[in-house]
Amino acid sequence: MATVSDITVTPLSGLNHIDALLDKGPDWNFLSNGGSNVLFYTFSVASGLETERTGQEAFTVAQMANTRTAFTYLQQVTGIEFRETTSGTGAQIHLANIDITGQYTTGLLS
């Protein structure tokens, strides 16, 4: 039977190049969200965007379909439920297109 330490303690491999990539503390599937392992995502560009960036554009229909397929697969692999929402302020993951300047910037996090 699983215990709380099974989900709050990240097991280390003993290999520095691997352990350096592991974060201390609960993993994504830690049940800290009211006993739920649900992550909400949105394609909305109307609300909940990073405040210091502008120019976000909505995903195309094909990009949205591919994203849904990827989240379905990730859900099967991880047990994390990815639930789509239209509320940008209610989502933990925002998906949009944007032209980001800077050669070392690959994404945004708010």
Digit-coded pLDDT (tens) for 83-95: 999 988 888 888 9
Query: Are 57 and 109 found together in one domain?
Result: yes
Q: How many domains does the chain have?
A: 2
Higher-scoring residue by pLDDT: 88, 69? 69
Which range of residues forms the domain containing residue 80? Answer: 33-110
Higher-scoring residue by pLDDT: 14, 66? 66
- DSSP secondary structure of the chain: ---HHHHHSPPP-S-HHHHTTSPSS--TT-STTTS--EEEEE--SSSS--TT----BPPPHHHHHHHHHHHHHHHHHH--EEEE-S-GGG-SEE--B----STT------
Q: What pLDDT, on a 0 to 100 scale, did the predictor assign at position 109? A: 62
Digit-coded pLDDT (tens) for 32-49: 445 568 889 999 888 777
Mean pLDDT of the chain: 77
Higher-scoring residue by pLDDT: 80, 84? 84
Query: Are 57 and 91 found together in one domain?
Result: yes
Which pair of structure tokens corresponds to residue 65?
A: 């379909």
Query: Are 67 and 110 found together in one domain?
Result: yes
Query: Are 55 and 22 found together in one domain?
Result: no
Residue with tokens 């109307």: 46
> Is the whole model's pTM more than 0.75, yes or no?
no
Q: What pLDDT, on a 0 to 100 scale, did the predictor assign at position 6? A: 58
Q: What pLDDT, on a 0 to 100 scale, did the predictor assign at position 91? A: 87
